[in-house]
Amino acid sequence: MKVLVCGSTGCIGAAVVHALRARGNKVVEASRRPGAAREHWPLDFSSPVSPQHWAARLRGAQVDTVVNCVGILVPSRGQRFERVHAQGPIELFRGAALAGVRRVIQVSALGVGPEGLDSDYLRSKLLADDLLATLPLDWAVLRPSLVYGPRSASAALFATLASLPVVSLPGRGAQRLQPLHVYELAEAIARLVEQPGPLRVVHEVGGPEAISYREMLATYRIALGLGQPLWLPVPMPLMKLAARVACVLPQKAFSPETLRLLERGSVPSVNALPALLGRAPTALAQGLRISPPEPLIDLRGSFARAASLLQKLTIGVLAVLLWISHTR
């Protein structure tokens, strides 16, 4: 089977590429950044491409299935939610239908639906999900909770926040989440790619249990080998102000939009992941042992170096005082 994976260098896309190849599938990688794959297509959903152009390319490459893993958490000048999540994928999906592609797997987001129309992020995902369901091909939409693992921008942010001696919490940190490891999401996608018979289904997926935001950060701290921090509840108006300020910083995970998503919580109404995997998903604590968290800034190293320097300065001062006392 030959599969086009869009967003192949991102957190989810890279894991999907690995899972598909491990199961013997041929993969065409497509991403904005150049890849080292034998078959790599430049892909930027911010630039319009006609469905007819997509159809000719998919037909020429004899692609059987398309998996779309493209997504952004924070829009920028050249990357808008509507273009990257809706218009670009819709052009691809229509091209896939014209080319006779067997199946399209769309990675959407938990919370997509009528109740999420107040979110630009969720609304843009819904537009692509709804259009895909109208096309004359087989399809499946996966709506995951919080995804962690290698290359996850949000996981790196949470690891950084968890590593601080004082950990700020939005409100009391009671927001409910159901984190799932990217490797298990990728395995579920690979199984859907290969599943015989029609799908035409929407699956909500998450980890084995719902936990609070505070419990999630505490689990990250344990994985980092750290003890209890000072927990600092921050009123939501101040968190919203911080999110606006964060938009000017060089990061792609914290913004007013992602804070609104956190406030909503991210728990599947019915978790399809156990059925897709044929087993219980991995708990967060075990998942972080498999893929140790990687903070954006290794504060543990910074503190260790500072402590070492302070120790050396203290020893140096004591040595000078001792020398002075002996020379009197």
Within 10 Å of residue 252's Cβ, how many Cβ atoms? 17
Within 10 Å of residue 310's Cβ, how many Cβ atoms? 10
Query: What is the CB-side half-sphere exposure of residue 209 using CA atoms within 13 A?
Result: 8
CA distances from 103 to 12, 25, 49, 138, 155 (A): 19, 15, 20, 5, 30
* pLDDT tens, residue order, the chain (328 aa): 999 999 999 999 999 999 999 999 999 999 998 766 778 999 999 999 999 999 999 999 999 999 999 999 888 878 999 999 999 999 999 999 999 999 999 999 999 988 888 899 999 999 999 999 999 999 999 999 999 999 998 899 899 999 999 999 999 999 999 999 999 999 999 999 999 999 999 999 999 999 999 999 999 999 999 999 999 999 999 989 988 888 777 766 788 888 889 999 999 999 999 999 999 999 999 999 999 999 987 655 554 444 444 343 333 333 333 443 444 4
Contact criterion met (CB below 8 Å) for 9 and 31: yes
Query: What is the CB-side half-sphere exposure of residue 129 using CA atoms within 13 A?
Result: 22
CA distances from 85 to 107, 117, 182 (A): 10, 14, 20
Contact criterion met (CB below 8 Å) for 301 and 164: no
DSSP code of residue 82: I
What domains sit in the chain, N to C, each tagged with a CATH number? 2-150+177-228+263-292 (3.40.50.720)
Segment holding 233, helix H or strand E:
strand 230-234
DSSP code of residue 115: G
Contact criterion met (CB below 8 Å) for 10 and 16: no
Q: What angle do CA 92, 94, 99 make, to 5 degrees?
A: 90
CA distances from 43 to 73, 147, 159, 286, 289 (A): 18, 23, 30, 35, 33
CA dihedral angle for residue 322, residue 325, residue 327, residue 328, rounded to 10 degrees:
170
> In the chain, how many H helices and how many E strands?
13, 13
Residues in Cβ contact with 39 at an 8 Å cutoff, skipping those fewer than 6 apart? 27, 28, 29, 61
Cα end-to-end span (Å), the chain: 86
- Closest residue by Cα to residue 287 from 189, 188, 185: 185
Task: Render pLDDT for 46-81 as a digit per residue (tens, 0 to 9).
Answer: 999 999 999 999 999 999 999 999 999 888 878 999
Question: Whole-number mean pLDDT of the chain?
Answer: 90
CA distances from 263 to 174, 237, 280 (A): 9, 12, 27
- Please state, in angstroms and rounded to a whole number, the distance separating the CA atoms of residues 255 and 253: 7
Segment holding 318, helix H or strand E:
helix 299-327
